[in-house]
Amino acid sequence: MKLKPIHLSITSHPENLKGIRKVMKDIVSKTGLSKEDSGCIILAVDEACSNIIKHGYKNDYNQKIDMIVTLETNLLTISIIDNGISFDKNSIETRDIDEIKPGGLGIYIITQVMDRVEYTRTPEGFNKIKMVKKLTKKGIHHNEF
């Protein structure tokens, strides 16, 4: 199965995350993945967009977030592009997963769910997060890149 790339552009308001989750639910429903695996992918995308709104745009709800989703036979690729503050994944402070407090787990969730995660700054000055998930007929293959 291969679908044409799906392009989505929203403003950086938290209310728009619901629409992104719906689009992702529709896309992952075509993969044959379990409800649990599908939910994890939707959560990873939601976390990435939430981080862009909160950290990249400092809760400025009038900015733009672009998403491109490509579904191929055994690969789901999600690219999210924003014009927010440059992101350095090495500057993120990690914390103990067992520490009970809200927030700070977005990057952890994304890297646990997806097989490959790449953060780049484009020549035009945009941030781009590319998340790739390898799919199999039996479901998700974890970390086989």
**What are the structural domain ranges in the chain?**
6-140
Please say if the pLDDT value at position 93 is more than 90.
Answer: no
Please say if the pLDDT value at position 30 is more than 90.
Answer: no
CATH for the 6-140 domain, from 3.40.50.280, 3.30.565.10, 3.40.470.10, 3.30.200.20: 3.30.565.10
Report the C-alpha gap between 87 and 46 in whole angstroms.
17
Residue 59 contacts by C-beta under 8 Å, 6 or more apart in sequence?
A: 53
The mean pLDDT of 88-96, rounded to a whole number, is: 55
pLDDT the model gives residue 4: 87
Cβ–Cβ under 8 Å, residues 133 and 31: no
Dihedrals phi, psi of 85, to nearest 5 degrees = -60, 140
Q: What is the pTM of this model?
A: 0.84
